[in-house]
């Protein structure tokens, strides 16, 4: 519960530059949904740009044998996007096992983009009045707000991994290019 409250506080305090994104929920009538959307959109951009930035030869790179390769992280993000967004929509995930079955940069980028496209409509049409609705996740019931904020937090967590991998390879992460 503390995590949920913290996520809500952090998303409602988004910088003004990201507070209202085009085509997202109206901040006046759906302030929580608009705040969540304002976190989802830029993070999506950073992840997609990062996937493109890493050379194909480095998609198999692992900084240690016990962690995912860069490509596996991209596949994992695609899998989890489908899983979380399907749960929030009340649907069965349309795609699974990308991390384990897709290996080329082009195919992983396509899967990642497709997964974000699947989620885009959900985030763009979130309504505060439906955020408390219960949806199935991990064998239990959770409030929709928990699922969509968990997806954003999960994306952010793995973007941190991506940043490290890019830096090790001498590349500048997209979020640092904007500064």
What is the per-residue pLDDT for 133?
98
What is the per-residue pLDDT for 179?
54
- Give residues with Cβ within 8 angstroms of 38, minimum separation 6: 11, 14, 18, 19, 20, 21, 24
Number of folded domains that form the chain? 1
C-alpha distances (whole Å) from 135 to each of 79, 90, 172 are 18, 6, 38
What is the per-residue pLDDT for 23?
84
- In this prediction, the residues of the chain whose per-residue pLDDT falls under 50 are 1-21
What is the per-residue pLDDT for 19?
40
| Residue 134 counted as domain residue | yes
| Residue 153 counted as domain residue | yes
| Residue 80 counted as domain residue | yes
- Assign residue 146 the CATH number of its domain: 1.20.120.450
Task: Tell me the HSE value of 3 on the side-chain side, using a 13 A CA sphere.
Answer: 8
Nearest to residue 159, comparing CAs of 45, 64, 58? 45
What is the per-residue pLDDT for 163?
97
Q: Which domain, by its residues, includes 131? A: 2-12+30-56+68-172
| Residue 142 counted as domain residue | yes
| Residue 140 counted as domain residue | yes
| Residue 61 counted as domain residue | no
| Residue 177 counted as domain residue | no
What is the per-residue pLDDT for 78?
98
- Give residues with Cβ within 8 angstroms of 173, minimum separation 6: 46, 50, 162, 163, 166, 167
| Residue 93 counted as domain residue | yes
> Is residue 81 within 8 Å of residue 118, measured between CB atoms?
yes
């Amino acid at each position: 519960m503390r995590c949920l409250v913290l996520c809500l506080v952090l998303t409602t305090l988004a910088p003004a530059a990201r507070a209202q994104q085009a085509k997202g929920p109206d901040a006046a009538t759906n302030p929580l949904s608009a705040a969540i959307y304002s976190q989802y959109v830029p993070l999506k951009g950073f992840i997609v740009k990062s996937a493109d930035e890493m050379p194909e030869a480095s998609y198999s790179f692992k900084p240690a044998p016990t962690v995912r390769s860069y490509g596996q992280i991209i596949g994992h993000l695609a899998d989890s996007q489908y899983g979380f967004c399907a749960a929030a929509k009340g649907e069965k995930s349309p795609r699974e096992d990308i991390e384990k079955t897709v290996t080329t940069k082009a195919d992983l980028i396509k899967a990642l983009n497709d997964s974000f496209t699947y989620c885009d409509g959900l985030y763009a049409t979130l309504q505060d009045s439906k955020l408390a609705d219960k949806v199935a996740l991990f064998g239990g019931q959770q409030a929709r707000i928990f699922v969509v904020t968990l997806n954003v937090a999960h994306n952010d967590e793995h973007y941190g991994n991506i940043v490290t991998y890019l830096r090790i390879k001498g590349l500048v992460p997209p979020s640092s290019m904007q500064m």
